[in-house]
């Protein structure tokens, strides 16, 4: 059974940090490109960060220098370290696994940045 399970979301004050995790099962994790997307209320889902099977990374301009994506192939897990969080980072964050034309999604985890 294929599963992508996000964790680590929550409420944090502006300037704070959170680390999201996405634990996967049922897939050959190492061959997948992994990504984090987010969707704020009333907005489209957008790509936040992506890491290829080879470890190359890319980031949305809005999070460059603040967020870091990483993967641990031994644990079949991808992470998103989020620092210096801003209110506009508030959204549901989704884990994504992509290989060829196939895409898999997690259920999402809420991140709220508010004082």
Ramachandran assignment for 89, one of left (phi > 0), alpha (psi -120 to 50 degrees), beta (any other): alpha
Rounded-to-10 torsion of CA 1, 56, 66, 13:
10
- Pairing state between β 109-113 and 10-12: parallel
Token readout for 11 is: 């409420």
State pLDDT tens for residues 51-107: 999 999 999 999 999 999 999 999 999 999 999 999 999 999 999 999 988 899 999
State pLDDT tens for residues 5-17: 999 999 999 999 9
Task: Quickly count: other Cβ atoms within 10 Å of residue 18's Cβ.
Answer: 21
Do 7 and 25 form a contact (C-beta atoms < 8 A)? no
């Amino acid at each position: 059974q294929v599963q992508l399970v996000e964790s680590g979301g929550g409420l944090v004050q502006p300037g704070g940090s959170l680390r999201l995790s996405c634990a996967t099962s049922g897939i050959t994790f190492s061959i997948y490109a992994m990504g984090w997307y987010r969707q704020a209320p009333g907005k489209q889902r957008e790509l936040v960060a992506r890491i290829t099977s080879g470890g190359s990374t890319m980031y949305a301009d809005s999070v460059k220098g603040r967020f870091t994506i990483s993967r641990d192939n031994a644990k079949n897990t991808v992470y998103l370290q989020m620092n210096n969080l801003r209110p506009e980072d508030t959204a549901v964050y989704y884990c994504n696994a992509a290989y060829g034309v196939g895409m898999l999604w997690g259920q999402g985890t809420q991140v709220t940045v508010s004082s």
